[in-house]
């Protein structure tokens, strides 16, 4: 009986293993979900929708985007971390989620470096300082001068405490030697709309979030925080050439999967993302959103995440940025 039981156990194990291998070789055989822990209309969300549309064609299955905003990305990222590692749940993250939040929130429900496997760096997102179209501030110099004249009077919006918008403006204010009031909103898009509505004076935003507002003449881009002027905004100066020397800030959009996702699935997804980034039509759409296309191996994203994780640890501590 023992031999029979042992034989049955071995046979069942082989069948289970074979079924798993077959499931992976047939991947994907159903729609894939990408969780974006940010509001719809954010820079990452806009870029992800363009990219995944092309990836879906290559995979032969739809990639369905689910926006789960809240707590600067903690809630949505938690859903990715706890999802089955089977390739049917992806995370579309900005760098804040992996490299900033862990240093801001004292109790994290997941570990940024161990609960996610890197898939690929998709793109970097260019940023800029934005005000309402009829704002009296016509330049970075105007904004800084007004803030110095009346410390604490000017305010700015962000997507929440510890969000990239919060960190970008905190660093800008620190470098400029000004004091501005932080007004957190529930997501980058509401923070941008708040500027257009005149609820706050300014915001530092990924350009993909504010492109439609700029085109509709509801907000004005004072300066971009890239190292050089952008082709889509040739008349907009950089923050550096506006007087705040050597101030540069951007963010990146990356794809991750729950830890333990099979390597062949990671490789397949990485390959389809690179193909999508190489597609001319997709590239044009992303560039129009203020996105610089990247693409990387999973290993390269892992190295970049760890390096930026340590860099932001110091910046956040030095600027005393904390959650509520």
- What percentage of the chain exceeds 90 in pLDDT? 69
So what's the pLDDT on residue 25?
66
Question: What is the pLDDT confidence band of residue 317, given thresholds at 50, 70 and 90?
Answer: confident
Q: Does the pLDDT value for residue 50 go beyond 50?
A: yes
The structure tokens listed for 200 are 């706050």
So what's the pLDDT on residue 21?
45
What are 79-124's pLDDT values in tens digits?
Answer: 999 999 999 999 999 998 999 889 988 789 999 999 999 999 999 8
Tell me which architecture the domain covering 126-250 has in CATH.
3-Layer(aba) Sandwich (3.40)
Q: Does the pLDDT value for residue 322 go beyond 80?
A: no
What is the Cα–Cα distance from 226 to 246, expressed in whole angstroms? 10
Question: What is the pLDDT confidence band of residue 324, given thresholds at 50, 70 and 90?
Answer: low
Question: What is the pLDDT confidence band of residue 128, given thresholds at 50, 70 and 90?
Answer: very high
- CA-to-CA separations, 15 to 84, 85, 218, 261, in angstroms, rounded: 21, 20, 61, 20
Asked if 250 contacts 126 with a C-beta cutoff of 8 angstroms, the reply is yes
What is the Cα–Cα distance from 156 to 158, expressed in whole angstroms? 7
Q: Provide mean pLDDT across the span 250-256.
A: 92
What is the Cα–Cα distance from 221 to 111, expressed in whole angstroms? 36
So what's the pLDDT on residue 264?
97
Q: Provide mean pLDDT across the span 230-234.
A: 91
So what's the pLDDT on residue 198?
97
Question: What is the pLDDT confidence band of residue 305, given thresholds at 50, 70 and 90?
Answer: very high
So what's the pLDDT on residue 320?
77
Question: According to DSSP H, which parts of the chain are helical?
Answer: 2-25, 43-59, 74-81, 95, 140-149, 164-176, 188-196, 207-215, 263-278, 280-288, 298-318
**Could you tell me which of 152, 161, 203, 205 has the C-alpha nearest to residue 179?**
152
Q: Provide mean pLDDT across the span 181-189.
A: 90
Q: Provide mean pLDDT across the span 266-271.
A: 97
What is the torsional sign of CA 113, 117, 120, 122? negative
Asked if 116 contacts 179 with a C-beta cutoff of 8 angstroms, the reply is no
So what's the pLDDT on residue 57?
96
Q: What count of other Cβ atoms lies within 10 Å of the Cβ of residue 324?
A: 8
Question: What is the pLDDT confidence band of residue 41, given thresholds at 50, 70 and 90?
Answer: confident
- Fold agreement between 32-125+251-318 and 126-250: yes
Q: How many residues does the chain have?
A: 324
Q: Does the pLDDT value for residue 70 go beyond 90?
A: no
Lowest mean pLDDT among 5-14, 147-156, 288-297: 5-14
What is the Cα–Cα distance from 74 to 37, expressed in whole angstroms? 7
Question: What is the pLDDT confidence band of residue 4, given thresholds at 50, 70 and 90?
Answer: very low
What is the torsional sign of CA 150, 152, 153, 158? positive
User: What's the DSSP call for residue 97?
Assistant: I
Question: From 3.40.190.150, 3.40.640.10, 3.30.230.70, 3.40.50.11540, which CATH number describes the 32-125+251-318 domain?
Answer: 3.40.190.150
What is the Cα–Cα distance from 299 to 306, expressed in whole angstroms? 11
- Bridge partners of 292? 124
- CA-to-CA separations, 266 to 16, 98, 218, 220, 305, in angstroms, rounded: 21, 19, 41, 41, 17
- Cβ contacts of 75 within 8 Å, gap of 6 or more: 37, 68, 69
Question: What is the pLDDT confidence band of residue 43, given thresholds at 50, 70 and 90?
Answer: confident
Question: What is the pLDDT confidence band of residue 18, given thresholds at 50, 70 and 90?
Answer: very low
Q: Provide mean pLDDT across the span 54-58.
A: 96
Spans of all domains in the chain: 32-125+251-318, 126-250
Asked if 156 contacts 201 with a C-beta cutoff of 8 angstroms, the reply is yes
The structure tokens listed for 171 are 């660093």
So what's the pLDDT on residue 143?
96
Mean of the per-residue pLDDT values of the chain: 89
Kind and range of the H or E run holding 257? strand 250-258
- Bridge partners of 90? 34
Q: Provide mean pLDDT across the span 184-198.
A: 93
Question: What is the pLDDT confidence band of residue 288, given thresholds at 50, 70 and 90?
Answer: confident
Question: What is the pLDDT confidence band of residue 162, given thresholds at 50, 70 and 90?
Answer: confident
């Amino acid at each position: 009986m023992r031999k029979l039981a042992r034989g049955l156990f071995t046979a069942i194990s082989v069948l289970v293993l074979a079924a798993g291998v077959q499931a992976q070789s047939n991947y994907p055989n159903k729609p894939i979900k990408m969780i974006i822990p940010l509001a719809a209309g954010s820079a990452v969300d806009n870029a992800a929708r363009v990219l995944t549309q092309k990836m879906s064609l290559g995979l032969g299955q739809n990639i369905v985007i689910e926006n789960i905003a809240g707590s600067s990305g903690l809630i949505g990222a938690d859903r990715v971390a706890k999802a089955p590692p089977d390739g049917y749940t992806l995370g579309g993250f900005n760098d804040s989620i992996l490299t900033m939040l862990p240093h801001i929130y004292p109790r994290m429900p997941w570990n940024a470096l161990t609960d996610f496997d890197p898939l690929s760096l998709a793109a970097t997102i260019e940023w800029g300082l934005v005000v309402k179209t009829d704002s009296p501030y016509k330049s970075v110099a105007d904004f800084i001068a007004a803030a110095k004249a009346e410390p604490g009077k000017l305010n700015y919006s962000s997507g929440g405490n510890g969000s990239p918008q919060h960190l970008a403006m905190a660093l800008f204010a620190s470098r400029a030697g000004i004091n501005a009031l932080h007004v957190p909103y529930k997501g980058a898009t509401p923070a941008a709309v708040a500027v257009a509505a005149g609820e706050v004076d300014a915001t530092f935003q990924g350009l993909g979030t504010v492109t439609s507002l700029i085109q509709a003449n509801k907000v004005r881009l004072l300066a971009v925080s890239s190292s050089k002027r952008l082709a889509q905004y040739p008349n907009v100066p950089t923050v550096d050439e506006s007087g705040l020397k050597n101030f540069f800030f951007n963010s990146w959009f990356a794809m991750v999967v729950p830890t333990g996702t099979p390597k062949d699935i990671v490789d397949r997804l990485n390959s389809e993302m690179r193909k999508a980034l190489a597609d001319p039509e997709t590239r044009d759409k992303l560039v129009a959103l203020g996105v610089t296309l990247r693409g990387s191996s999973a290993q390269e994203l892992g190295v970049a995440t760890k390096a930026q994780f340590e860099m932001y640890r110091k910046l956040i501590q030095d600027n005393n940025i904390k959650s509520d």
